[in-house]
Amino acid sequence: MSEQLHSQLSKLAHEIQQKSLDIKSTTEILRYFRNVCATDKESQIKLGDDGNNFHCVDLMCKLFDKLLERPASEENMVCLRVGCQFIGNLIVDNQSNQLKVHNKCFAHIRKLMLLGDGSLSRFCAMILYNIILSHPDVREDILKENDLLRAILIQEDEFSFGSYPTFMRIYWSILALRNICEKCPENQAIIAGLAKKDVAYSPVLEELGYTLHSEDGKGIKIAPLKRHTTE
């Protein structure tokens, strides 16, 4: 492992251990990992190697836990987005890393996709797409999570194709659904049998002070949660 790669992993491990997370420093470390995975296959392999003493995927799970515990803020969301981009680059054309991320980070990917952030949802859909593409046997794990499946479908139902980022968000969701259903009549039947009845309850959104809202079947929006107060 290169000295710089080792140094950045050490910094990330140190930041995660701190009681107060330096969000800007952590985001920059994740940007480094994201970029190096996209340009250097050897570094991608080494980062996913459990023998590097840092267990990078485990570190990311701990980091996601820590970030999800923090109050919602733009810099917090940026760090989560960059973290998901790093995970996405870590698993591209790397079946070993794909399985590690699925086995260790699936619950975190689910939580992130349900946060209601469009960019995060798109990055999570990209991760799911790449994992399912190489490992179709994991499709059942996604179908077991009804709220995750709804989150993928909501992206298609909620947004128009008016801009490139919106198009890409829907594009990755469609690809994820395609891989869930491809050559699998059972999953196709489940998807075909779905009907829009009501807005799904999301405890993750509620914790952040938001809820899903639908008006006259004209799509689903994220709205501030109206809390009942007692006098």
pLDDT of 14 reads 93
- Does 137 lie in the same domain as 68? yes
- 119 and 158 share a domain? yes
Nearest to 26 by CA among 34, 16, 17, 36: 16
117 and 175 both lie in a single domain: yes
Residues 108 and 79 in one domain: yes
Residues 211, 121, single domain; the answer is no
pTM above 0.85, yes or no: no
Tell me what pLDDT residue 167 has.
40
β-strands 220-224, 210-214: how paired?
antiparallel
Q: Are residues 148 and 173 in the same domain?
A: yes
The verdict on 104 and 201 lying in the same domain is no
Domain count, the chain: 2
**Separation of alpha carbons 81 and 79, rounded Å:** 5
| Structural domain harbouring 155 | 3-195
Judge if 80 and 190 occupy the same domain: yes
223 forms beta bridges with 211
Residues 14 and 86 in one domain: yes
Q: What is the pLDDT of residue 210?
A: 64
Residue 32: the pLDDT is 96
Q: What is the pLDDT along the chain (231 residues), one digit of tens a residue?
A: 588 888 999 999 999 999 889 999 999 999 999 999 999 999 999 998 866 556 899 999 999 999 999 888 999 999 999 999 999 999 999 999 999 999 999 889 888 988 878 788 888 888 988 888 888 787 777 666 655 665 565 454 444 333 334 444 555 566 667 777 777 788 777 777 766 666 666 665 566 666 766 666 555 666 676 655 444
Reading phi first (left if > 0) and then psi (alpha if -120 to 50, else beta), residue 183 is in: left
Mark out the alpha helices in 22-136 (DSSP H runs): 23-39, 41-48, 56-69, 74-91, 95-113, 118-134
Question: What CATH number does the domain containing 115 carry?
Answer: 1.25.10.10
Q: Give SS3 for 220.
A: strand
| pLDDT score for 146 | 58
Name the β-bridge partners of 213. Answer: 221
Are 101 and 57 in contact by the 8 Å Cβ rule? The answer is yes
Instruction: Tell me: do 53 and 8 sit in the same domain.
Output: yes
What is each CA distance from 138 to 71, 134, 166, in whole angstroms? 32, 9, 27
Asked if residue 124 and residue 111 are part of one domain, the reply reads: yes
Whether residues 203 and 191 fall in one domain: no
